[in-house]
Structure 1
Amino acid sequence: MSIIRQGSLFSLEELFDLEPTHRFEGVFSAIDIYPILAVVSKKSVYGAPVELNYPAMIYSLVARITERIPRIKDLIKRLKNDFIFRLDCGFLLSDGVPSEASYSRMINKLSESHILEKVQEKLLIQALTEGFIDDHNVSIDSTHVEARDQSPPKEEKEEPQPKKRGRKTKAEHEQWLLEKAEQEANATIYEKTIESQLDVTLEELRTSTPLTPEWGVKKNSAGKNVFWFGYKSHLAVGTKSQYILQSMLSSGSLNDGKAAIPLLKGLKERLLDLLVKHAIMDSGYDYAAIYKQVYRIGAQSVIAYNKKNESEPVGFDKYFAPTCVREHSYKYDSFDPKYMSLKYTRPKECKDCPLAHDSLCQSVYKIRIKTDLRRYTAPARGSQKWKDVYKERSAVERVIAYLKSYFQLNNIRHRTGKKAKFHVDLVTLVYNASKLASDRINLRLQEVQAVA
């Protein structure tokens, strides 16, 4: 094959440049469809025989993503008119092309289960076993996914009643406390604060995720609010391998920070062999509970700081490094994992300072990160090491661009949240399968070049 003569490293773009037959072979071989097949296959030997070729239908859904076919109707048309494509998907000469209703029934069955998440987990474990995933840094971010449904009309808000002036009476205050306690008791886990997620199981967090399309808002690069109606896709991406290690879909109105803890718990519980050293996020994830969860999984937080109208502490600079009497910042030196402490050394400006040997200006300053997990991270904020690690956050943005450009992430054509989740799960599965296929081809190329 022509791909064996490639001299450069093989990438996702080159995978899409292959002939469809070769591309399909690589992607299909990376996906174990037998668990998926078990969900849609007939369970009983009684009744009318099944005439549908379910394995070929599943492969055709995968091919629809890679070929960027927008609708099931267009997929059926392609299967009818393209004989080679039909054979590539696994249909036999004697098989008829399934109807749109048949695809709809199969998708409905799959959307009621979580089988794609299990197949995704198995694929990631296989990539770990083969050595293609060796990430120590994970980047987390979210992106908007528009719904094809028409957005609901905005409800007219009732005019607020004027507040009663003066202090509440004792009876009114007690009634207010009862109403507040009732609201908190009836609130879902995602309506509560992020701190409430820390002691909730991963299964409960995933099953209770809101999936109804809602209005979402996010600031663009120009600082202006951008509104959309639909969902949010939350991703945890390995910064080196660029595999999607964890993903989830939520309503568009969900705060980005409320998806971080489920993703972090998924990394810890579902990928046991993955050693995460740094969790990298932007300032939208700057919440104390997220730092605590990162610490619980044995990693360090590299999250942009959001001041939130906080004043700088006395005796420290804007990066929370200690300062000397003359307000020169101490220089970050190293991190001691045994005592979980940051080591700072005397500023170079203090070399000839008359107070250098005074007790007011100590030569070494150590701070335990547990003093404040949000302010003290390893490597320390403001250091060159911290900046170098934070630069790797662009990996998740690159993957999001791939998903929207090549894998139809922003092409949800289902009216229910479960089916929308099925579409996004399928997109991330096909992306990871494409990554695994390209990595395997790249490995074979390197072996051939080594022999030559």
Structure 2
Amino acid sequence: MVLSQLDFSNVVLSLSRSEYKIGPKGYDPLPLLYALVAMQLEKIPNIAKLVARLKSDPVFRYNCGFSVFGPTPSASTFSRFLNLISKSEALEEDFKQLILKAKDLNIIDSTNIAIDSTKLNAFEKPKPKSKLKDDGKSPNCGKKKDTDGNDIKWFGWKLHIIADCKSELPLAIEITPASVNDSILAIPLLKTVIILKFKCPHVLRKVDCPHGSSWCSNSNYGYCLKINYKKNNRYFSFPIRSSDEWQEIYNLRTSIERCNSRLKDYLNTDNQSSAGIKKAKTFALLNCITFVAGTISVNVTKSLPKVA
């Protein structure tokens, strides 16, 4: 059911270009993609285990789209295929199309979103600080505090996620070295400047001010104070901090934590089995695609009419 919700047309189209048709014909890209998605769904730890599962389990092999009696791809085949799909943005485009599909089915609301990051351990071995590369593409050391205030240190990456508060599904992701601050990725997402206007309570007839509206400006809004939300968006929030609407939205903040937890505990996001930032993002995208496709599958199944 999960695989039936997937559409990898952008990846297939990108691999149909002439530069990718050198050498033997090889395997069709769709079964390879389905196998990689099934790897995340079944929490298979690495490519070698995936190859072994395809060889030993004919049902698993058939569900992925391979011939039951035919040969199965080797670890080298998967490695070369991962190199190809990691070089283009086609997989991310297919992820965006899957998000739009979930939105059309009213699974994703996107009225309220939450932004957070989570740690990912790198496949590469840790290095001394003196030998780390600060090029934005190599893994490095990260540090954060847990809920008890204890320091957590790791070597690897940081996965930045935007999640829908209603469905708790990932909407967009980005991978950076572990030392990159969350705000560097979060601020560019705020593309519009929100202006707050505090209106005169006397003009709004909420209080009977002895000075009337004389202390306020002649604006139609009464006293009008404009604040650039970007300059201090922690201090000046929208809606107004401590209002009922603000508290209701604030309570939704934990949706991103549940999204992170499901990607790590129920899928394979926390298990990086290839080196490099591009492959790290590819595996993260595959897990997000699996997560969204699984949610769509469950909702579609529930909407089917029951047979008496």
TM-score (norm 1): 0.59
Q: How do 1:99-248 residues align onto structure 2 when only pairs under 5 Å count?
A: 99-155=74-130, 210-248=136-174
Q: Hey, what does 1:436 align to over in structure 2?
A: 296
State the shift of 1:397 in Å. 0.5
Q: Distance in 1 between matches of 2:114 and 2:200?
A: 27
Structure 2 unaligned segments of length 5 or more: list them. Answer: none
Q: Hey, what does 1:76 align to over in structure 2?
A: 51
State the shift of 1:134 in Å. 2.2
State the shift of 1:243 in Å. 2.3
> Which of 1, 13, 30 is residue 38 of structure 1 equivalent to?
13
Note if contact 2:119-2:159 (Cα within 8 Å) is conserved in structure 1. Answer: yes
Query: Residues 98-154 of structure 1: CA distance to partner in whole angstroms, max 9, x if unpaired?
Result: 111111110111111111111011111222223322231111011111113211024
Query: Which one has the largest radius of gyration?
Result: 1
RMSD of aligned residue pairs (Cα, Å): 3.1
Note if contact 1:232-1:250 (Cα within 8 Å) is conserved in structure 2. Answer: yes
Secondary structure, counterpart of 2:71 in structure 1: coil
> Do residues 385 (structure 1) and 232 (structure 2) align?
no
State the shift of 1:258 in Å. 0.4
Aligned pairs, number: 295
Secondary structure, counterpart of 1:155 in structure 2: helix
Secondary structure, counterpart of 2:130 in structure 1: coil
Q: Distance in 2 between matches of 1:412 and 1:47?
A: 29
Q: Distance in 2 between matches of 1:439 and 1:249?
A: 29
Q: Distance in 2 between matches of 1:222 and 1:254?
A: 22
Indicate the larger mover: 250-259 or 357-366. Answer: 357-366
> Do residues 56 (structure 1) and 35 (structure 2) align?
no
Query: Residues 205-256 of structure 1: CA distance to partner in whole angstroms, max 9, x if unpaired?
Result: xxxx923101011121122321110000001111012221111111101010
> Do residues 413 (structure 1) and 286 (structure 2) align?
no
TM-score (norm 2): 0.84
Q: Hey, what does 1:311 align to over in structure 2?
A: none
Q: Distance in 2 between matches of 1:429 and 1:103?
A: 18
Q: How do 1:246-285 residues align onto structure 2 when only pairs under 5 Å count?
A: 246-262=172-188, 264=189
Query: Residues 142-198 of structure 1: CA distance to partner in whole angstroms, max 9, x if unpaired?
Result: 111111321102439xxxxxxxxxxxxxxxxxxxxxxxxxxxxxxxxxx9xxxxxxx
Query: Residues 380-429 of structure 1: CA distance to partner in whole angstroms, max 9, x if unpaired?
Result: 11223212211111111000000000111110121212111211121112
Q: Percent identity?
A: 29
> Which of 169, 174, 197 is residue 341 of structure 1 equivalent to?
197
Q: Hey, what does 1:89 align to over in structure 2?
A: 64
Secondary structure, counterpart of 2:2 in structure 1: helix
Q: Hey, what does 2:285 align to over in structure 1?
A: 425
Query: Residues 235-280 of structure 1: CA distance to partner in whole angstroms, max 9, x if unpaired?
Result: 1111012221111111101010001134x2xxxxxxxxxxxxxxxx
Structure 1 unaligned segments of length 5 or more: list them. Answer: 1-25, 157-190, 192-208, 265-292, 301-338
Q: Distance in 2 between matches of 1:46 and 1:415?
A: 25
